[in-house]
Amino acid sequence: MIGAAPQDAVYTGCFDGGWPDAPHRALRNSTLRAWEAAGRPTAPDRPGEGAVVARGADGRTWSRYQDMVPVPGMSCDLEALALYAGQSAGLVHDIAPAGRIVADIAARAAALMGRTPAP
């Protein structure tokens, strides 16, 4: 996410396992690139269809094209899972605690309000 540009969030239907016919935005990753390169075929003719790309801490497996996102405790090829993100992903430049983000927003709002003439 940190290195993503707005154009990296692709409007697609690629990750439809468990979420059929639901368009979404996801960051372009190895799964999406392979699917696009193959001409965006439908299941079961997609590259790597059914290949296990991740395993949960509980042992559950997740296949390529499923709608699952990486979560703590998962292992394997997490980059190949659905990486949902909108075009605003290009605005993310660092990782910060939520409290700091809220404080920064509040400080910026207060500064702007101080510069805005009263109605």
Give the pLDDT confidence score for residue 1 in this predicted structure. 67
Contact 85, 27 (CB under 8 A): yes
More confident call, 88 vs 13: 13
Residue range 27-48: average pLDDT? 96
More confident call, 90 vs 41: 41
Domain limits of the chain? 6-92
Is the model's pLDDT at 95 over the cut of 70? Answer: yes
Output the average pLDDT for the chain. 89
Give the pLDDT confidence score for residue 19 in this predicted structure. 85
Give the pLDDT confidence score for residue 33 in this predicted structure. 95
Residue 52 banded pLDDT, cuts 50, 70, 90: very high
Contacts (Cβ under 8 Å, ≥6 apart) of 82: 14, 15, 24, 26, 66, 67, 68, 69
Give the pLDDT confidence score for residue 117 in this predicted structure. 52
**Token pair 């296949």 in the structure block, residue:** 63
Give the pLDDT confidence score for residue 82 in this predicted structure. 96
Percent of the chain exceeding pLDDT 70 equals 93
Is the model's pLDDT at 93 over the cut of 90? Answer: no
Which H or E run contains 9? strand 9-12
